[in-house]
Amino acid sequence: MKVSIVVGTRPQIIKSAPVYHALAKSGHECDIVNTGQHYDYEMNKIFFKELSLPDPSADLNVGAGTPSEQVSAIVAGLGKLFASAKPDLVISPGDTNSALSAGIAAAKSGVPLAHLESGCRSNDFQMAEEVNRRILDHMSQLLLCPTPGCVKNVRAEKVLADEVVNVGDTMYDSLLRFVPSLQKIDAASKHGLEEGGYAFMTLHRAETVDDPGSLRSVLEGVGSLGIPVAFSVHPRTRERLRAFNVSPGPNVTLLEPLPYVETLSMASRSKFVVTDSGGLQKEAYWLGKAVLIPRDETEWHEIVDAGAAFLTGSSAEKIRRDARKLSRVRQSAFKATKRIFGRGNASENVVRAVSRFLGAGGKKGS
């Protein structure tokens, strides 16, 4: 049985890596197809290297474009590929344009589809990812959910999948693999920062950075926190800073987009994290760091409910107010709901679910 995992952006590579390794170990024939939605070395290939993945079996090199251009190029490329490679199952991780496109291409090619990280919801239909993940869930035959809450979400929507399985979060598997080596990697001092004496920040969501008012307000908020801020800047954000002529405050140091392990190291040595990334919200939580989330909602509300993260929106005043609460976050907040993301063996659970699904004949896609 041949399983193809389709990736194209950095979070998808991180989510997929432990699944690829577990599938390969279990004897499944498995390959990785790269759409090339992210195309800079530090946004894509470096993660293959860090996470010990083989070169992709195919690279579509779609690059930048409007969402419609990205989706149509990927669907067309994958359609051709699936017709010749004939995988028995396509695994599509996450909620990016690459993830949606892999789902459409699989469905149109009659290839069974599994959605990895199924069921997470922000209930914000303005968000491209919310639309992508909902459509993907309804196209897929095998739903691999990271938390019990995600299972509840797809059940509530009455999706017609053959199987819905709570496997745990494969990003947690990836993180646990690298936690022992984080002691040895001191990314903070490389950037002239003292352990526990800075905030680590990433911003890349269209809702945060494509609106000049919201981008300015978030930067004004973090600019007034009275602590050095190490800001790993996504290419989209760098472009918006330039286009809107916005400069962060003097306490903010701009960094290139950091590789995976360096990102974990920066988060683990920080005082706290500021991020609109869903992935980094969870990583910070697993590393015991409190988070300011400059959004109005999150897919990972369990972390907010546990008191380890604060939804500040883009208001500078709310960022300042919530930052004052960070010192009162207790260590118990990080233990309260950690297990809802699994025990670090999500990828093995994925292999079991995939084997069962394929053994049962893997219903053909619609």
> What distance in Å separates the CA atoms of residue 26 and residue 225, rounded to the nearest whole number?
49
User: First and final CA of the chain: distance in angstroms?
Assistant: 20
Which of these is catalytic: 21, 115, 204, 234?
A: 204
Residues 92-121 that bind ligand UD1 (CB under 6 A): 95-97
Question: What residues contact residue 112 under an 8 Å CB cut-off, 6+ apart?
Answer: 88, 89, 90, 106, 141, 142, 357, 362, 363, 364, 365
37 touches ligand UD1 by CB under 6 A: yes
Among 6, 7, 9, 168, binds ligand UD1 (CB under 6 A): 9
204 touches ligand UD1 by CB under 6 A: yes
Nearer to ligand UD1, 9 or 166 (CB): 9
- The first and second tokens of residue 238, run together, are 């760098």
| Bridge partners, 39 (sequence order) | none
Would residue 196 be called left, alpha or beta, if left means φ above 0 and alpha means ψ between -120 and 50 degrees? left
Stretch that binds ligand UD1, among 26-34, 148-156, 229-237, 310-318 (CB under 6 A): 229-237
Q: What are phi and psi of 221, to 5 degrees?
A: -60, -55
283 touches ligand UD1 by CB under 6 A: no
Among 128, 131, 135, 254, binds ligand UD1 (CB under 6 A): 128
CB of 131 to ligand UD1, least distance (A): 9
> What distance in Å separates the CA atoms of residue 64 and residue 46, rounded to the nearest whole number?
18
CB of 154 to ligand UD1, least distance (A): 19
Give how many residues touch ligand UD1 by CB under 6 A: 19
Nearer to ligand UD1, 129 or 283 (CB): 129
Residues 76-95 that bind ligand UD1 (CB under 6 A): 95
Told to judge if 115 belongs to the known catalytic residues of this protein, a careful annotator would answer no
**Residue at 326: amino acid letter:** L
According to DSSP, residue 287 is labeled T
- Of 216, 360, 196, 168, nearest to 290 (Cα)? 196
Among 64, 156, 160, 243, binds ligand UD1 (CB under 6 A): 64
134 touches ligand UD1 by CB under 6 A: no
> What distance in Å separates the CA atoms of residue 240 and residue 206, rounded to the nearest whole number?
10
CA atoms within 13 A of residue 83's CA, in its CB half-sphere: 8
Nearer to ligand UD1, 10 or 271 (CB): 10
- Active-site amino acid positions: 204
> Where do contacts with ligand UD1 occur on this chain (CB under 6 A)?
9-11, 37-40, 43, 64, 95-97, 128-129, 204, 234-236, 239
